[in-house]
């Protein structure tokens, strides 16, 4: 069984992003970037499934500029066998990304497409579902448990009401939630080994992908700032403050 895993390069989750003063976007230059945390979880899951003998080959895929090679090298250090770099500078919105992933999934003949449930930069939460729709295949989003069997997957999902379990036929799209696993720390020997693994560089045109119409961003603004409140000295003071505001 073959798994295709998407890995996006995003501003690191620890960075407090700053909106540019002219409202044209956020400051990304000189800011730490990492693999999207949900994609690390997807990579980790693929590797664990390979370790269990359920998957025989892991292919990592990314869309982005030259710097995305770092993200692919991390994926290879996790344990991907090889990688595909769809080279494209600038923002790529979910439907366009999904078209490219769908094309790659078909070309590779992969059985599962593993993606993060959401990229923490655009917070869109769309791409995996769109890949499934474009190929008319099953999807199991927000996964917290994945069991692969011949031709099928049983996936437990984190939904608003609790935990839902679905059975899906393969090929299928699975998107990861936080509780699926805890990604490993990458070890130096694996990072060294990753340097020798192959990365294939392709373009949208190579994959026969046409870009979809985009949402255009007309303005980026900082959210309204919450003003800093007061520190009370005692429980009594807190209770009277809340009662004074009619909250208790």
Partner 1 sequence: MSKILVIGEIADGKLNAGVAKVVACAQQIGGEIVVALLGADVAGPAAEAAKLDGVSKVLKVERAENAHILAATYAPQIVELAAGYSHVLFPGTSFGKDTAPRVAAKLGVQQVSDVMVAHSATSFDRPTYAGNAIVTVEAPAAPAIVATVRLASFTAVGSSGSAAVESASTSTALPTHTRFVSMEAQKSERPDLQAAAKVVSGGRALGSSENFKVIYDFADKIGAAVGASRAAVDSGYVPNDMQVGQTGKIIAPELYFAIGISGAIQHLAGIKDARTIVAINKDAEAPIFEVADFGLVGDLFQVVPELQGKV
Ligand X SMILES: Cc1cc2nc3c(=O)[nH]c(=O)nc-3n(C[C@H](O)[C@H](O)[C@H](O)COP(=O)(O)OP(=O)(O)OC[C@H]3O[C@@H](n4cnc5c(N)ncnc54)[C@H](O)[C@@H]3O)c2cc1C
Q: Which does 197 bind (CB under 5 to 8 A by kind): partner 1, ligand AMP, ligand X, none?
A: none
d(CA 59, CA 5): 6
Name which position in 119, 143, 172, 180 contacts ligand AMP (CB under 6 A): 119
Return the number of the residue (82 or 179) whose C-beta is nearest partner 1.
Answer: 179
Q: Is 110 in the site for partner 1 (CB under 8 A)?
A: no
Asked if 59 and 1 touch (Cβ cutoff 8 Å), the reply is: no
Chain residues 48-77 in contact with ligand AMP, contact rule CB under 6 A: 62-64
Q: Which of 195, 205, 140 has its CA nearest to residue 171?
A: 140
Other Cβ atoms within 10 Å of 185 Cβ, number: 6
Q: Which does 115 bind (CB under 5 to 8 A by kind): partner 1, ligand X, ligand AMP, none?
A: ligand AMP
- What is the nearest approach in angstroms of ligand AMP to the Cβ of residue 63? 4
Beta-bridged to residue 87, according to DSSP, are 64
Backbone φ and ψ for 170, nearest 5 degrees, come out as -90, 150
d(CA 4, CA 112): 6
Residues interacting with ligand AMP, by CB under 6 A? 6-8, 36, 38-39, 62-64, 92, 94, 97, 115-116, 118-119, 122, 124-128
Residues interacting with ligand X, by CB under 6 A? 13, 37, 120
């Amino acid at each position: 069984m073959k798994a295709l895993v998407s890995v996006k390069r995003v501003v690191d989750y620890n960075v407090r992003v700053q909106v540019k003063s002219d409202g044209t976007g956020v400051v990304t230059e000189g800011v730490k970037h990492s693999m999207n945390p949900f994609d690390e979880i997807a990579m980790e899951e693929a590797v664990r499934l390979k370790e269990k003998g359920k998957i025989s080959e892991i292919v990592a895929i990314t869309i982005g500029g030259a710097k995305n090679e770092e993200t692919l090298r991390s994926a290879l250090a996790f344990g991907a066998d090889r990688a595909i770099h769809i080279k494209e500078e600038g923002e790529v919105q979910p439907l366009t990304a999904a078209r490219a992933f769908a094309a790659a999934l078909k070309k590779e003949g992969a059985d599962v497409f593993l993606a993060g449930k959401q990229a923490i930069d655009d917070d869109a939460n769309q791409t995996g579902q769109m890949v499934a729709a474009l190929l008319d295949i099953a999807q199991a989003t927000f996964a917290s448990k994945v069991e692969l069997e011949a031709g099928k997957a049983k996936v437990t999902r984190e939904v608003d009401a609790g935990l839902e379990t679905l059975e899906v036929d393969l090929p299928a799209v699975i998107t990861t939630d936080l509780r699926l696993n805890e990604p490993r720390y990458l070890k130096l020997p694996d990072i060294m080994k990753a340097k020798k693994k192959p990365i294939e560089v392709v373009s949208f045109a190579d994959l026969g992908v046409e870009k979809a119409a985009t949402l255009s961003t007309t303005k980026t603004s900082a959210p309204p700032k919450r003003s800093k409140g007061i520190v009370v000295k005692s429980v009594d003071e807190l209770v009277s403050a809340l009662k004074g505001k009619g909250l208790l």
